[in-house]
Amino acid sequence: MKALVTGGAGFIGSHLVNSLIQRGDEVHVIDNLSTGNKIQVNPAATLHVEDINSEASCTIIETVRPDVIFHMAAQVDVQLSLADPAFDSSVNIVGTVRLLKACQQAGVNKIIFSSTSAVYGETNDERNWENNTPAPISYYGLSKYSGERYIRLFHQLYGMNYTILRYSNVYGPLQSAKGEGGVVAIAMNKLAKGLPLLVHGDGEQTRDFIYVQDVVHANIAAIDQGHLETINISTGLRTSINSLMHTVKTIHGGNVDIHYDAERAGDIRDSCLDNAKAAQILGWRPQVSLTEGLTYTCQHYFQR
């Protein structure tokens, strides 16, 4: 199979590229390296240093003519989206539309789109299901949901196949201390500098933390399954930020303080995604527990 990964030099993308290479696939990466890192790209992949909004990226897609495109390139920082919604929309909406048009012209068989739990916004439900009405409270969540809507319309107009994967809070090795799931990476940075761990708000807000390799497995499962579906990729388990920090402290060892700061605009209070549809349609279930994943992440971070 010939695959192209946008954002393949980034956190989730670089892990996915490694797994595709291990499968024996031919892999191309488009990344402008604004947040990704060239050294994270598997040397067996072909790296094209371009922005997804450029004409050059469209030409690459039309030249390579991949079977599947994994669209992971995105602006993922909630706070940045609030500060600069025009930039957020230029990457997450316009960039996605340009990619879709290039896919149509190149005859790409399928696009697998990385979306987010942020599309759901605040909810009183214990878990968010895929049929819940999206109500994002940040421009980031809105721009990713807009990307989803464009993908569905491209299918309606041109028959383009797709799977939309809505991730809960992804964490793991190589993650930047930015973005919606960056709390784990921020904690690792604080530990490395001998600084207190940082919590915004009272710490009782909850998240559904999922290990990066589990997300990679879901993307690979979506190559041949989940056509025209929108699917949550999550553990289905709520974890408070206070509980997360306690686990991080236990794994790291030593005396670690926690500093509490003000809540941030655009941050969802509670977020947990139901993953029953992923099990039913993709045959996928998360394999890595939070303690295991945090242990792997901590070991990787402090071995660098």
The catalytic site residues sit at 140
Q: Which has more pLDDT, 304 or 46?
A: 46
Q: Checking DSSP bridges between strand 206-207 and strand 239-240, what pairing results, if any?
A: antiparallel
Query: Mind listing the pLDDT tens digit for each residue in 107-121?
Result: 999 999 999 999 999
Query: Mind listing the pLDDT tens digit for each residue in 58-90?
Result: 999 999 999 999 999 999 999 999 999 999 999
Full-model pTM: 0.95
Confidence of residue 176 (pLDDT cuts 50, 70, 90): confident
Lowest-confidence region among 106-115, 149-158, 273-282, 293-302: 293-302
Residue closest to 69 by CA, chosen among 119, 20, 112:
112
Q: What pLDDT does residue 179 have?
A: 53
Lowest-confidence region among 15-29, 44-58, 195-209: 195-209
Q: What pLDDT does residue 52 have?
A: 95
CB 164 within 8 A of CB 115: yes
At a CB cut-off of 8 Å and minimum separation 6, what does 281 contact? 225, 226, 229, 231
CB 208 within 8 A of CB 169: yes
CB 87 within 8 A of CB 80: yes
Give residue limits of the domains in the chain: 2-171+210-234+273-286
Question: What element of type H or E holds 198?
Answer: strand 197-200
Place of tokens 């590229």: 17
Cα separation, 165 vs 187, whole angstroms: 26
Question: What element of type H or E holds 153?
Answer: helix 139-158
Confidence of residue 173 (pLDDT cuts 50, 70, 90): very high
Confidence of residue 40 (pLDDT cuts 50, 70, 90): very high
Q: Is 84 left (phi over 0), alpha (psi -120 to 50) or beta?
A: beta
Confidence of residue 124 (pLDDT cuts 50, 70, 90): confident
Give the SS3 label for residue 238.
Answer: coil
232: which 2 tokens? 């949550």
Residue closest to 21 by CA, chosen among 48, 39, 47, 3:
3
Q: What pLDDT does residue 178 have?
A: 62
Q: What pLDDT does residue 9 have?
A: 98
**Identity at 53, one-letter amino acid code:** N
Confidence of residue 287 (pLDDT cuts 50, 70, 90): very high
Average the pLDDT over 132-159 and give the result. 97
Please provide the average confidence, as pLDDT, over all residues in the chain.
Answer: 94
Cα separation, 169 vs 118, whole angstroms: 9
Average the pLDDT over 4-26 and give the result. 98
Give the SS3 label for residue 172.
Answer: coil
**Helix and strand element counts for the chain (H, E):** 11, 13
Q: Domain 2-171+210-234+273-286: give its CATH superfamily.
A: NAD(P)-binding Rossmann-like Domain (3.40.50.720)
Average the pLDDT over 248-273 and give the result. 87
DSSP state of 268: -
Confidence of residue 181 (pLDDT cuts 50, 70, 90): low
